[in-house]
Amino acid sequence: DFTEMMRALGYPRLISLENFHTPNFMLVSEVLLWLVKRYEPQSDIPGDVDTEQDRVFFIKAVAQFMATKAHIKLNTKKLYQADGYAVKELLKVTSVLYGAMNSQGGEPAHLPEDDSTKFKFDLGSKIADLKAARQLASEITSKGAVLYDLLGKEVALREARTESIARPLEINEAEKVMKIAINSVLGEVQKTKDMLNNVALDEANLEAKIEKRKLELERSQKRLQALQSVRPAFMDEYEKVEEQLQKQYSTYLEKFRNLTYMEQLVDDHRRAEQEMFEEAANMLRLIQSRLKEEEQHLLKSGSNDDSDIEIQEDEGSDSEGDLQIPRHRISTDTLLQG
């Protein structure tokens, strides 16, 4: 699509997608410059792309031009890559130009540049002129209203002007006014002279202060150099104390790590003991439940043989003692195992 659009727009060279398999910045810059000239022949974008800085400036200028004039947002990074991704950005501009050419009724692309560009109307370049024209129109309206009001007062002003001109000029009054004006001008001149004299005095005072500050600065710099060259008496002790502090800090870190490790071991041991205690408690509950079941079973079996128990009463007592002994032994052995 890109190659067909460029051919339809009248690009003088043949373009193939194989040209963009590897970065080809010269071709991309040439196509961009041609598209910009095609869109606006009066554009002043520089075509120097010899150095890296020139290339970056060229890409930024083209992107800014397209954003302000055609409202087309271009990705500068992809354009700078000058590969297949740059074709997608170039396609944005070519599609706009191709659509504009088709909307004009299918004009051929090989028309002269003057004929193909005389129908273009760049609204962006006319916005400033439109604003200036509106401002001038408002100014003309206001000035016309003021002039109309002044012309309406011309009748009364003409009479006052003729009366003033016809009035005879009194020399004494004119001389007094001129003297007053001359005295005021002389007073202003004297004030200006006094200000100039004060400026000269202020300049001299400032120069004296500057010299004084320079001398103080020189003395301070010399004192600073002397203090920097002298090693303080407590510096040796300070360095020793600093070394001891570093050793103490390393010892503190080692003890802190050991303490943390021991606390972790204690926590693990307590957790293991807690688990063992819970297991022992569970075993005890299990054994108690089993003993209760056995007792219930023995009681049920004993109730069924009441006749035998009555005949052999003495032997039954002995047998119950014998049964109790094994129970005790079983529970003790199980607890020991648990």
Identify the residue whose tokens are 């609204």: 123
| Chain segment 252-300, per-residue pLDDT in tens | 999 999 999 999 999 999 999 999 999 999 999 999 999 999 989 888 8
Range 228-237, long-range pairs (CB < 8 A, 24+ positions):
none
| Chain segment 146-176, per-residue pLDDT in tens | 888 888 888 888 888 888 777 776 778 778 8
Q: What is the pLDDT of residue 6?
A: 80
pTM of the model: 0.32
The CATH code for residues 1-103 is 1.10.418
Q: Report d(CA 234, CA 224) in Å as an integer.
A: 19
Q: What is the pLDDT of residue 102?
A: 75
Identify the residue whose tokens are 């007792």: 295
Nearest to 90 by CA among 101, 100, 76, 102: 76
Which two structure tokens, joined as six digits, stand for 1? Answer: 């699509």
Residue-wise pLDDT tens for the chain (338 aa)? 777 788 887 888 777 777 777 888 888 888 888 888 888 877 777 777 788 888 888 888 888 888 887 788 888 888 887 777 888 888 888 888 888 777 655 444 444 444 444 334 455 556 777 788 888 888 898 888 888 888 888 888 888 888 877 777 677 877 888 899 999 999 999 998 888 888 888 888 899 999 999 999 999 999 988 888 877 778 888 889 999 999 999 999 999 999 999 999 999 999 999 999 999 999 999 999 999 999 898 888 876 655 454 444 444 444 444 444 444 444 444 444 44
Q: What is the pLDDT of residue 326?
A: 45
